């Protein structure tokens, strides 16, 4: 299609997004689903990102990240919207669009079910947009009408409001201690505390970091998936690992912490130790793991032991030790410095061998750890997930404070 060039960049088809990397564009799309990811910071600020899944007549599924709160509130599943001044970016193999400070959004049609009551020409004629935009709008509306029943059904499954009817055997499920669920929508509607098991795909790891200098931490740094291809593995390990109790998973250093666990909630005595003493070690910092399926998404609180299961049973202490081995050659430790004195070839060669072995071991483990992290966060969308999550549900807690806490994971084996 011919591009409409203006103040907002060209109006492009989603299928052509790959050829506009780094450019600012317009998108006219249908919204399949909207997933808000938010967390309040201690000083009243708020980090918000809303992930929406959109499509058009050239590409049925495409991800868009909205970083503006006021814009995110206007996005509804089942609507057709015009996004202006979006930037096309790439993370690994994933191409997406994301908003910037001067991005804007216009809702052209808000109700998918009303599309069949009017002719396409009548619907498009009433929209106050340019000719090229109307041409694209007509194609998208016709595409929505052709796919109407499928799209309506998918939008309804993503929209879970208070009026959703519970299954007939709901009370029977609530009475069981350990329950298997077929969808995250069922899990999110639970009103009794229990242990739930379900299959789901991983969306992202959210790590709400805090420090004395909060301005040092940009919003992007808190989302690990985006950083897999933009920073060094040592930097990821530094943010994901802290000093804490190996048994209960609470971080004990306050210089740079996670707002998932407030400082005044850190127990003086370890609740999981027989003598109530914390076992101090390097641990994985508590984080939120967003998981989703075709019905909904939920945030899982992940502490040290569960994080270890996620990362291939590699302990945080081992990752930290590997990072130290990598940095050893840059320190003032005489054992890690090469001696430039020809009078002691044996010492020099031994030191080279020792440093080489440390660097190889550290690099190997860090590489494996990074690969496992990428595999976890780069699951193919639209496919059944092989990961089965075991989650402790405490309905007395807020969603961002551990209502759903990961306790174990397993992999699907063979054909189901």
End-to-end CA distance of the chain: 44
How would you classify residue 351: left for phi > 0, otherwise alpha for psi between -120 and 50, otherwise beta?
A: alpha
**Model pLDDT, residue 29:** 94
**Model pLDDT, residue 197:** 94
Instruction: At 179, list the tokens.
Output: 């329950």
Closest listed residue to residue 304, CA positions, set 283, 288, 332, 274: 283
* Rounded distance between C-alpha atoms, residue 372 and residue 363, angstroms: 14
Residue 114: other Cβ atoms inside 10 A: 11
Which residues is 258 bridged to in the sheet? 209
Torsion sign across C-alpha atoms 270, 273, 276, 277: negative
User: Cβ neighbours of residue 294 under 8 Å, at least 6 residues apart?
Assistant: 154, 157, 183
Helix (H) or strand (E) holding 98: strand 94-109
**Model pLDDT, residue 340:** 43
3-state SS class at 88: strand
**Model pLDDT, residue 72:** 81
Return the domain boundaries, the chain: 14-158, 201-308+375-411
User: Cβ neighbours of residue 369 under 8 Å, at least 6 residues apart?
Assistant: 233, 237, 311, 312, 314, 319, 322
Instruction: At 256, list the tokens.
Output: 């740079």
Tally of residues, the chain? 416
Which residues is 83 bridged to in the sheet? 27, 105
**Model pLDDT, residue 272:** 80
Q: List the beta strands (DSSP E) in 256-324.
A: 256-258, 280-284, 287-292, 297-302
Kindly give the interhelix angle for 148-158 and 131-146, rounded to the nearest 10 degrees: 90
**Model pLDDT, residue 47:** 64
Closest listed residue to residue 201, CA positions, set 183, 222, 174: 183
Do strands 94-109 and 62-66 pair parallel, antiparallel, or not at all (unpaired)?
parallel
Across the chain, which has 416 residues, the per-10-residue mean pLDDT values are 58 93 93 78 66 91 87 85 92 84 87 64 77 89 76 52 37 53 88 90 82 53 82 85 86 58 60 80 91 87 92 90 71 47 45 45 77 82 76 85 89 62
**Class level of CATH domain 14-158:** mainly beta
Instruction: At 130, list the tokens.
Output: 């340019």
Closest listed residue to residue 60, CA positions, set 31, 87, 85: 31
60 within 8 A of 86, measured Cβ to Cβ = no
* Rounded distance between C-alpha atoms, residue 327 and residue 342, angstroms: 25
pTM: 0.63
* Rounded distance between C-alpha atoms, residue 413 and residue 416, angstroms: 8
Instruction: At 245, list the tokens.
Output: 């109790």
């Amino acid at each position: 299609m011919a591009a409409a060039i203006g103040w907002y960049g060209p109006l492009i088809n989603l299928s052509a997004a790959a050829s506009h990397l780094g450019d600012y564009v317009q998108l006219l799309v249908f919204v399949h689903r909207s997933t808000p990811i938010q967390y309040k910071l201690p000083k009243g600020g708020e980090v918000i990102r809303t992930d929406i899944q959109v499509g058009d007549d050239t590409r049925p599924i495409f991800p868009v990240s909205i970083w503006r709160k006021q814009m995110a509130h206007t996005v509804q599943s089942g609507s057709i919207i015009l996004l202006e001044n979006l930037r096309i970016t790439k993370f690994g193999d994933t191409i997406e669009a994301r908003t910037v400070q001067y991005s804007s959004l216009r809702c052209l049609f808000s109700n998918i079910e009303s599309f069949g009551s009017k002719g396409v020409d009548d619907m498009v004629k009433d929209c106050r947009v340019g000719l090229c935009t109307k041409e694209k709008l007509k194609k998208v509306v016709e595409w929505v009408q052709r796919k109407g029943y499928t799209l309506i059904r998918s939008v309804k499954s993503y929209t879970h409001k208070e009026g959703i009817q519970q299954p007939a055997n709901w009370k029977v499920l609530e009475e069981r201690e350990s329950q298997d669920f077929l969808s995250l929508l069922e899990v999110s509607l639970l009103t009794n505390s229990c242990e739930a098991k379900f299959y789901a795909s991983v969306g992202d790891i959210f790590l709400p970091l805090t420090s004395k200098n909060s301005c040092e931490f940009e919003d992007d740094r808190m989302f690990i998936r985006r950083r897999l291809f933009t920073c060094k593995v040592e930097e990821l390990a530094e943010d994901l690992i802290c000093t804490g109790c190996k048994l209960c998973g609470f971080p004990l250093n306050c210089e740079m912490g996670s707002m998932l666990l407030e400082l005044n909630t850190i127990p003086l005595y370890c609740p999981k130790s027989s003598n109530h003493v914390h076992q101090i070690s390097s641990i994985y910092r508590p984080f939120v793991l967003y998981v989703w399926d075709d019905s909904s998404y939920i945030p899982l609180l992940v502490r040290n032991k569960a994080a270890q299961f996620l990362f291939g049973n590699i302990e945080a202490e081992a990752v930290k030790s590997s990072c130290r081995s990598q940095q050893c050659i840059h320190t003032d430790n005489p054992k890690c410095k090469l001696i430039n004195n020809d009078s002691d070839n044996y010492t020099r060669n031994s030191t080279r061998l020792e440093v080489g072995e440390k660097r190889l071991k550290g690099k190997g483990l860090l590489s494996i750890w990074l690969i496992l992290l990428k595999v976890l966060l780069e699951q193919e969308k639209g496919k059944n997930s092989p990961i089965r999550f075991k989650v402790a549900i405490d309905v007395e807690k807020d969603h961002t404070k551990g209502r759903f806490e990961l306790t174990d994971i397993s992999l699907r084996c063979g054909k189901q």
